[in-house]
Amino acid sequence: MIRVIIADDHELIREGIKKIVRHSTDLKVVGEAADLKQAIALIAQVRPDVAVLDISLPDYDGLDGLAELRRHFPELRIVMLSMHPEERYALAALRAGALGYVSKATAPAELVDAVRRAAAGQAYLGPRMSELLARDAGSPAPQPPHYSLTPRELEIVALIGAGLQIKQVAAELGISISSVNTYRSRIFRKMGLASNAALIRYALQHGLAG
């Protein structure tokens, strides 16, 4: 029996995964967490075989959560779950130590396959992932600057690109104004921008404003 824990801040997603797992006689969900802090405590207690980890948790954004989990549990086998398509984070997740990357838009069978392979110590490579790896092994074209942004940073870009002020962005995301300013500074640094106007232009040009 493969023992699985789920770390995702959306209860509906967790319930959906549990429903998928119930149809697989060799898998069992032994715990669930809404953030990384809860996940770390849970893993220490139940010692699962595989963790299904959302890429964007309230207390850790992007691949930082993966790195933190591996710091605490280097031998833990992790499958990343994300609303973002594979081309955004999949290769980076594999390089950071995940054994699989599954989009929330993929078929349930893919998640089950990814968990089984991870439990066996094998990487899960879906059709799209295999294509990306083949392309990456050749001469990959440079990625646009926004590909280096975390999911939270992309949310900030979308809202600023839509014309919201910093105070409005903070209210929309339920975070402090100082946090928004910190995220914005990171975005400017990563993308080589120096002003809100430049960020808005970039967001509009690349279809990121929302």
Res 139 pLDDT > 60: no
The confidence band for 61, taking pLDDT boundaries of 50, 70 and 90, is confident
Same domain, 107 and 151: no
Q: Average pLDDT for residues 67-94, to the nearest whole number? A: 85
Q: Where are the beta strands (DSSP E) in 26-177?
A: 27-33, 50-54, 77-82, 100-103
Same domain, 18 and 117: yes
**Beta carbons of 80 and 53 less than 8 angstroms apart:** yes
Same domain, 133 and 153: no
Q: Average pLDDT for residues 11-29, to the nearest whole number? A: 93
Q: What are phi and psi of 200, to 5 degrees?
A: -60, -45
163: in domain: yes
Q: pTM for the full model?
A: 0.68
Give the pairing type, strands 100-103 and 77-82. Answer: parallel
Same domain, 121 and 154: no
Residue 80 structural domain:
2-137
The confidence band for 128, taking pLDDT boundaries of 50, 70 and 90, is low
Same domain, 88 and 120: yes
The confidence band for 166, taking pLDDT boundaries of 50, 70 and 90, is very high
How many whole angstroms separate alpha carbon 200 and alpha carbon 138? 33
**Helices 177-191 and 166-173 sit at what angle, rounded to 10 degrees?**
110
Same domain, 107 and 191: no
Q: What is the mean pLDDT of the chain?
A: 88
Q: What is the pLDDT of residue 199?
A: 92
The confidence band for 137, taking pLDDT boundaries of 50, 70 and 90, is low
Q: What is the CATH number of the domain that holds 194?
A: 1.10.10.10
210: in domain: no
Min mean pLDDT across 133-137, 160-164, 188-192 is at: 133-137
Q: What is the pLDDT of residue 44?
A: 97
Give the highest mean pLDDT range of 37-51, 97-111, 130-144, 156-170.
37-51
162: in domain: yes
Q: What is the pLDDT of residue 132?
A: 64
15: in domain: yes
What domain count does the chain have?
Answer: 2
133: in domain: yes
The confidence band for 112, taking pLDDT boundaries of 50, 70 and 90, is very high
